[in-house]
Every structure is written in C-alpha cells, then in structure tokens.
Structure 1
C-alpha cells in the first residue's frame, strides 16, 4: 500500500512493502520533477530499500550464530517484508516491522524496526529506530540504498553529473570481489571536492568508503544545476553505486554496517559493522535528502 506526504514544494510516496521510499517529486513552476529511480527491472527493480538486519552480501549467503549456520540473502529481509503503519500525520509517516516465525528462521533474534519519513520544505528526513524487546542480545546492521534518477532531465547524460563533497577530501575505496570485501584498497581522491560521474567509475562495483570525515554529499547536474543532497552525520560507512552502462540512476548509501569479507562464513558477532543492543535498548539515527 502506498502512503503519500505532500506540501507546497514536494510530494513523497512510501510503500508499506519494505517501508520503501518510492517517489520524491519536486513541485515547481515548470512542472513535476521526480528524483527517485522508478525501479526499471531491466537494470534494478528497486527504489530505495532499507537494508536490515545485514548490509551487503555474506560469504555463501551464510553466517554463524551460537553453533548454527543460517542463510540470508544480500541486504537482509526487511526490504521484502510488509510493514505496519504505526503513525501518520500531515507531514510524517512511521512504519514498524517486528520479528515473527518467518524472520526467526533466517535471523534468530527478537526486534522492532521502526522507519519514519518527515517532510519539511524540500527536505525529507528518514529516521530509523531499532529496539531489542527480547531477553537475549540483538546483533544487527542497517543501511540506506536510495537510488536517484541520473540524468534528471531530457537531453542530459550520466556524465553531466558529479558528486560534490562538503569539503576537500582524500579518499581510498575499499575493493569488492563478487560483492565481498577483498581487503584491498585503491586511492580515489586527494584533497578534492568534486568527483565527476561516469560508468567507468563503477566498473569494479560500488565505491565504498569507511570512517570518512564528511557528513553530506550532493549529486548535481553541471548543466541544469538540479541536485539532491544527502546528509548522514554519524554514519561510519558509505556506498556509491549504479548498475552499469545505460542504468540512469546512482545510489548514495549511508550505512551502519558492511558486506562480508572474502572467505568462509563467520560468527555474526565478529562481522565488521555489526552492532549490538541489550534488552530494552534502542538504536536511533537518521539521514536526510534535500532536492533542488
């Protein structure tokens, strides 16, 4: 089921399946401009899934916990589950997913995952709350995967766009092999504020950064000036990705978690990026998207 938020500047739509953002439209004098990728299955059939309780791929799609081996697909299961609408007001929506028998077959933990969307002006704030209602420790990761149309306007190309950092950065990318970290890095930027987009940039899979010092990133057209800025203070990991030549989107993905590393499945508690909550504890964070 689709739920809608709208003000004089923007219209937002969220699906209860996965509590997934499916549309973020700017309402301007020149008409409507959609910023979210519309999930063409020829390239990638999703819009902006929430990644939970793992981020990325696991070796052999498996992990170990308390002597047992469990199977879980890439990015976890929350993106494919139906969430309950917990709260609705004029400019805010909150959805909730709780553990059940189906989730415990993949992931033997009790949890409550709440995802909220709050629209103010041209900014959408996405909030996450993970709660441990169980008597055992909760182990999890969570991440964002919003895909933005690129190009946004007819006559533009993917190469007309660039990423703009909030200050000069020096970055190494962490390299992937079949979606798993190889342990290798490669230099990408040295004291620069702009990264021009090209499909060649993603020829070796996603760009992944760890423990960086910037808190926002803007995708911007050099021709039209249209942009979307993602703000993600406090997030330790970031992925940038597109599906390859011809895919007219790019993802800006702030994460609290990472894919697994090349090798055999590991204990979930030992996986890089895994967080833990004791009984009754909550993890609360948010990021925001501003369109122009």
Structure 2
C-alpha cells in the first residue's frame, strides 16, 4: 500500500489494481468502504477495458472471439508505481501476454491520484501505443461508508432532475426497459431495497456532482465527474456502503450487436492517441 497525505486528508492505494483503499480525514474518520467480504470484498476497482458484463462473457473482434471478465482485467492486475511526490501517486499498467490473449491491443493505462486541500483528484489516462484503432471503456467503482443507518442516508444531485434507471437483467446486462427514480428532485433517498434489482444506471444525467450525506452526520462526501456520459449507483441490499460510479461505457445490452467496434457506449483511440478523464472526491 502506498500513502500520501496533507493536513486535511490521508489516502492509501494498493499496487494491485491501483485501487484506492482509504480516505481518512484529520480526525481519523474513514470514508472508503473497507472491503468486508460479508458484503463486498473490494474498495474502489478501476474498470478497464470494459465496464460491466459482456454478453456471454465474450466479444467479437474482426471475426475472432475473446473472453473478458466483468469490468475487465485491470482491477486484478499489479500496477507499477512510476511516480510519487508528496501529494501525488502515478500507477501504470502495460500489456502482458495474459492481457493480449484477452484484449489484443498495445495500451498504456495510467492512474493518477492527486491530493489538493480537502479533495482527491483521480485521473485515468489511456494511450493507444499500437497501430490499430483501439476500442475501450473505463470507469470508477468507489464504495463509500455510510455514516448512519441506510434509511438516514441520501444522495444529493447537483441539479433537480427527472431520471429513469435502465434496468439490469439477472445476467448483469442492460435491458431495454427503464424505471423512474426521480421526478424533478435532487434527492435520492437510500433504502434497504433500493438496489434489490441491481444498480441504478443513468445514461442522461445532467448533474456532474453528487453528494453523499447522512441525517445525523455533519460530514459530506462529494463526487464530481465532469464529462462522464454514464453514472452507476450501487450497493448490496442492506450493506453499509454505496458506490458512486462515473463511467465511459456500460454493460452489454441483452441484444447482440456484433463486433465490439459497434458496442453501445464504447470509446475509441486511434494509433498514438491518448484519452484522459478526471473525477474528484471531496470531503466537506
């Protein structure tokens, strides 16, 4: 585990998956879920080169079939720490024989953590070092502790919105049906049953900031995700955490689409191109 700190926050990141494991404030309060396997044995996996599940766990590329696990392979691989300063960490993942067998592209993935006063900025840099056009998705999956009973906790959006969630099938695929979540409101009240049908998946949210709060707890945690086209919100039913997940991409639909180049929500990089996105976690 690698740690950096300032006078407001201390964070810890593992080399495995370049996974953020801890955010503590100066008073010692822990904001990250501590991976209790009774509920969910992860903290904040990085999702790459896919977000969510593939139909039958496979994808097609130029007539060949490849297999990828849900959320891709980056979360379970050892990253290299390539740079560290007083307030920043840079981790890198490069292709291996194992990744090429499942994802035949010459990528470079950098995960950058920067502390800035009371916030942590997390940047994902994806570079295509190959000569072929490279499809990919990338997303964050941080789990945050609830500082109170579930029914006393809430999520507050930046704007009042009318939102529907895309329903998720029992196989983790995106269904064509939707269900209402908000009607001209900015508050999503957490409940024991909110995630009984899996994650809330938003494709058209206008807000780019969400705050997690609890009725009897003064601290607030805000996630800002400018430019991210999709957002997932998830927990295990009854678990004392919630995940706020900015995505560039999402799980496969139930209907086949053919080659991965046609996958809904997929991103592309040409030869030598770099993609960068940033989200921020702030403690108030």
Does the 8 A contact of 1:63 with 1:265 survive in 2? Answer: no
Q: Could you tell me which residue of structure 2 aligns to residue 284 of structure 1?
A: 276
Alignment of 1:257-268 (within 5 A): 257-264=249-256, 266-268=258-260
Does the 8 A contact of 1:59 with 1:262 survive in 2? Answer: yes
Partner Cα separation in structure 2 for residue 60 and residue 266 of structure 1: 13
Question: What secondary structure, in the 3-state scheme, does the structure 2 residue paired with 1:45 have?
Answer: coil
Does the 8 A contact of 1:119 with 1:125 survive in 2? Answer: yes
Residue 165 of structure 1 deviates from its aligned partner by 0.8
Q: Could you tell me which residue of structure 1 aligns to residue 11 of structure 2?
A: 12
Partner Cα separation in structure 2 for residue 222 and residue 169 of structure 1: 22
CA deviation vs aligned residue, 1:230-252 (integer Å, no higher than 9, x gap): 0001000000000112x111000
Residue 211 of structure 1 deviates from its aligned partner by 2.4
CA deviation vs aligned residue, 1:75-124 (integer Å, no higher than 9, x gap): 00000000011111000000100111110111111100000000011100
Partner Cα separation in structure 2 for residue 141 and residue 18 of structure 1: 16
Partner Cα separation in structure 1 for residue 121 and residue 187 of structure 2: 24
Partner Cα separation in structure 1 for residue 150 and residue 183 of structure 2: 23
Unaligned runs of 5+ in 2: none
Question: What secondary structure, in the 3-state scheme, does the structure 1 residue paired with 2:26 have?
Answer: strand
Q: Could you tell me which residue of structure 1 aligns to residue 57 of structure 2?
A: 61
Deviating more after overlay: 280-289 vs 255-264: 255-264
Candidates 90, 94, 102, aligned match of 2:90: 94
Does the 8 A contact of 2:111 with 2:123 survive in 1? Answer: yes
Q: Could you tell me which residue of structure 2 aligns to residue 187 of structure 1?
A: 180
Unaligned runs of 5+ in 1: none
Any runs of at least 4 consecutive aligned residues in structure 1 with deviations exceeding 2 A, and if so which? 263-266
Partner Cα separation in structure 2 for residue 225 and residue 66 of structure 1: 54
**Structure 2 residue 113 is matched with structure 1 residue 117:** yes
**Structure 2 residue 227 is matched with structure 1 residue 227:** no
Give RMSD over aligned pairs.
Answer: 1.0
**Count of aligned residue pairs for this structure pair:** 283
Does the 8 A contact of 1:174 with 1:207 survive in 2? Answer: yes
Q: Could you tell me which residue of structure 1 aligns to residue 136 of structure 2?
A: 140
Residue 160 of structure 1 deviates from its aligned partner by 0.9
Does the 8 A contact of 1:11 with 1:26 survive in 2? Answer: yes
Alignment of 1:155-166 (within 5 A): 156-166=148-158
Question: What secondary structure, in the 3-state scheme, does the structure 1 residue paired with 2:69 have?
Answer: coil
Does the 8 A contact of 1:62 with 1:265 survive in 2? Answer: no
CA deviation vs aligned residue, 1:230-288 (integer Å, no higher than 9, x gap): 0001000000000112x111000000000001144732111111111111100011000
**Structure 2 residue 73 is matched with structure 1 residue 72:** no
Deviating more after overlay: 180-189 vs 264-273: 264-273
- TM normalised by structure 2 equals 0.98
Partner Cα separation in structure 1 for residue 130 and residue 174 of structure 2: 32
